A and B are shown apart, each in its own frame.
Chain A
Amino acid sequence: SYEVTQPPSVSVSPGQTARITCSGDALPNQYAYWYQQKAGQAPVLVIHKDSERPSGIPERFSGSSSGTTVTLTISGVQAEDEGDYYCQSADSSGTYVVFGGGTKLTVV
């Protein structure tokens, strides 16, 4: 079955830039979406269609795509950005949804 791969963890200092990658063979042909999940809460969409930011999401969140890798970038990281981040996409047929394994962002 199709998989997308994320690093398990990323650590940054406050004010620095965090970059979380997601890799998968179908990503050149399927959109990627990013969710933030804080402990005990449901996920929240932070980026859709590779690079579009939903209303209400701070401008420091951005997304980009290059070949088989998509990247979530958080500029000027704040303590409140700590949590787990998941990328979501679909297989090459567009039929089956897949989530990456998640990346734990730590602000140290």
Chain B
Amino acid sequence: EVQLVESGGGLVQPGGSLRLSCAASGFTFSSYAMSWVRQAPGKGLEWVSVIRGSGGSTHYADSVKGRFTISRDNSKNTLYLQMNSLRAEDTAVYYCAKVDADMVNGYFDNWGQGTLVTVSS
């Protein structure tokens, strides 16, 4: 059974940093692209970033480009999202999602339960 467990969310001040983690199990982690998707309170889903299985290719939404960095440690079956220069509009539940294949635009066949990031002074 595929399991994705996010951690690292919390309250941070504007301009601050936070690192999210996603522990994966139940599949061959390095064989699949992984993504972060966020959802602001009461709003829709917003794709944030994707990373290929090897970690060699990454892409970002314009809204986070230059501020967020996605990475993965295939030896630990863990996905990360380093978030810097955080803004109030980054407040959201952040979901870790497994892509159906090792491709940047596939569909998300498994999702974590999400971790809440709140950016506020």
Contacts and interface: CB of A to CB of B under 8 A. Distances in A.
Given A43-B45, A102-B45, A97 B105 contact: yes
Interface residues of B, number: 21
A57 to B, nearest CB: 12
Contacts of B45: 35, 37, 43, 86, 88, 99, 102
A99 B109 contact: no
B47 A99 contact: yes
Contacts of B112: 42
Contacts of A97: 35, 47, 50, 104-105
B111 interface: yes
Nearest to B45: A99
Nearest to A33: B107
Interface string B56-82: 000101100000000000000000000
Given A42-B113, A43-B111, A101 B44 contact: yes
A33 B95 CA distance: 17
Residue of A42, A88, A100 contacting most chain B CB atoms (<10 Å) = A42
Contacts of A43: 45, 95, 108, 111
Interface residues of A, number: 26
A107 interface: no
Given A1-B62, A101-B44, A102-B44, A94 B104 contact: yes
B53 interface: no
Contacts of A94: 104-105
Contacts of A45: 107-109
A95 B114 contact: no
Contacts of A96: 47, 59, 61, 105
A90 B105 contact: yes
Interface in A56-108: 84, 86, 88, 90, 94-102
A88 B100 CA distance: 14
Contacts of A1: 62
A54 interface: yes
| Top 3 A-B pairs, shortest CB-CB distance | A90-B105, A42-B111, A102-B44
